[in-house]
Amino acid sequence: MKRFFLNVKAEFLKTKGTTAVLLTILGSVFIPVINLVICMERPDVMVGKFGAEPWLVFVKFNWKNVAAIILPLYGILMTSLIVQIEYRNNTWKQVYALPRRFADIFFSKAIVIHSFLLSFLLFFNIAIVLSGLLTSQINSKYAFSWDGVPWELMLTTTSRIYLGLLALMNIQYWLSLRFRNFVISLGIGMGLWIVGIVLMDWDKIVYYPYMYPFLMFFTDFKVHPETLLKLKIGSAISFILFLVLCYRNIYKLPERG
């Protein structure tokens, strides 16, 4: 087990100074910074919009673009970028020639990918809070105080969106491992996401993993509580299903590296 943790550490070291790191940092703060600028520029519109519960509105205001667009695209791109580190440097064969089991290689990289995703979510939440507090500091008409930060709402939303992203991440991991060409995995991922957008009104959309993050945020679970359960079960099943399929398929490839 100690060897596995050392391998995970090695996988993290490989990402040092890569675009995936930059993408995580910039992508996570992008929307909160934009919203900060909007609040500064248009207080006449925004102050009234936030009403009596400014944090609740502000958190949702930040999340809507992130859940619908930024996070799915980030997941697709980041997964491809991390796997591409090996393809771009021709290092897969060197990795597979190490005395490491396939499961060790497979899961240590998966852990790095999920750590990046969780870091994105953490940075994004921190950026929301800082953005709100800074808005109040700059313009006192905004009523964002530290005491009012809706931690529970933020945690619930973050957990649901993460759960909704799990299957998408596994499919992208599979595609990225399967195809040496970065454009193929990226193209298929983007294509599947766009198909989901087009099929948004389809009554079976709850079975389409690429739309889970969107549905996890935009569905009104007070009106449709049954949908939340469907999405949770769908996310968990498709996560496991695609993990197993991905593992088996890559393991069975006749040539590694």
Sorted by sequence, the CB contacts under 8 Å of residue 196 that are 6+ apart come out as 205, 208, 210, 211, 214
| Angstrom distances, CA of residue 85 to CA of 81, 92, 103, 112 | 7, 9, 19, 12
- The encoded tokens of residue 91 equal 């290092």
Site string for another protein, 9-48 (x = CB under 8 A): xx--xx-xxx------------------------------
Buried b (16+ CB within 10 A) or exposed e, 115-127: ebbeebbebbbeb
Nearest alpha-carbon partner for 189 in 96, 72, 92: 72
Q: Cβ(113)–Cβ(173) under 8 Å?
A: yes
Stretch that binds another protein, among 40-48, 91-99, 116-124, 144-152 (CB under 8 A): 91-99
Output the smallest distance, CB 17 to another protein, in A. Answer: 5
Report the 10 Å Cβ neighbour count for 21: 16
Site string for another protein, 41-80 (x = CB under 8 A): ----------------------------------------
Q: Cβ(207)–Cβ(136) under 8 Å?
A: no
- The encoded tokens of residue 129 equal 């809070």
CA–CA separation, 156 and 160 (whole Å) = 6
- Compare residues 11 and 213 and give the one whose CB is closer to another protein: 11
Stretch that binds another protein, among 3-11, 165-173, 194-202, 237-245 (CB under 8 A): 3-11
Stretch that binds another protein, among 28-36, 37-45, 90-98, 185-193 (CB under 8 A): 90-98
Output the smallest distance, CB 107 to another protein, in A. Answer: 14
Q: Which of 22, 34, 42, 93 binds another protein (CB under 8 A)?
A: 93
- Compare residues 48 and 254 and give the one whose CB is closer to another protein: 254
Stretch that binds another protein, among 1-9, 25-33, 185-193, 201-209 (CB under 8 A): 1-9
For 205, the 3-state DSSP assignment is: helix
Site string for another protein, 100-139 (x = CB under 8 A): xx--------------------------------------
Q: Which of 7, 131, 135, 157 binds another protein (CB under 8 A)?
A: 7
Nearest alpha-carbon partner for 104 in 113, 95, 93: 95
Report the 10 Å Cβ neighbour count for 64: 14
Rule CB under 8 A: say whether 161 interacts with another protein: no
Site string for another protein, 216-255 (x = CB under 8 A): --------------------------------------xx
- The encoded tokens of residue 131 equal 């953005």
Please give the residue ranges that form the binding site for another protein (CB under 8 A).
3, 6-7, 9-10, 13-14, 16-18, 85, 88-94, 96-101, 254-257
